[in-house]
Amino acid sequence: MLKSIEIIQKPRVALFKLLDSLTIEQLNTVPAGFNNNIIWNFAHMVAAQQGVCYLRAGLKTIITQDLYLAYKPETKPEKYVDADEFDHIKQLSISTLEQLDADYSAGLFNQYVPWTTRYGVELRNIDDAISFLPFHDGLHTGYIMAQRRALSV
């Protein structure tokens, strides 16, 4: 596995412990002062990776279109996510990285279209995109930690 993808995977796996310590109701609760919830932030990390890496390279997402559209940037929680769906999102958080590694090794990202993120970071190719993901995941992990505190857990 590419070291840069491993750097994304390990914190996601570590985050499982925090997520598993919360009830499905807590994960779905939008705390006061926030416009989303813990599940949305976690699923958004998966969806954003798909957009940043696959869609920008002219490829289809690995996740379903419905899942991508529900958690892409500028969305908010629209429905209650049950435990089975949450388990599926957790599985995707790892399997999509494994597939990214395989697709990277297969050279599928050679049509990557350069762009600048809302944070002012220019992503010129797939290597830049993969290097950007830990920052993005870290941002949303921070929101998850703040939301957990806001839930008084």
pLDDT digits (tens, 9 = 90+) for 79-110: 999 999 999 999 999 999 999 999 999 999 99
Half-sphere exposure of 105 (CA within 13 A, CB side): 11
8 Å CB contact between 5 and 93: no
Q: Whole-prediction pTM value?
A: 0.96
Residue 152 is predicted with a pLDDT of: 81
Backbone angles phi, psi at 36, to 5 degrees: -150, -175
CATH of 3-150, one of 1.10.1740.10, 3.40.50.2300, 3.40.50.970, 1.20.120.450: 1.20.120.450
* Radius of gyration in angstroms for the set of CA atoms belonging to the chain, rounded to a whole number: 15
Residue 88 is predicted with a pLDDT of: 98
d(CA 140, CA 143): 5
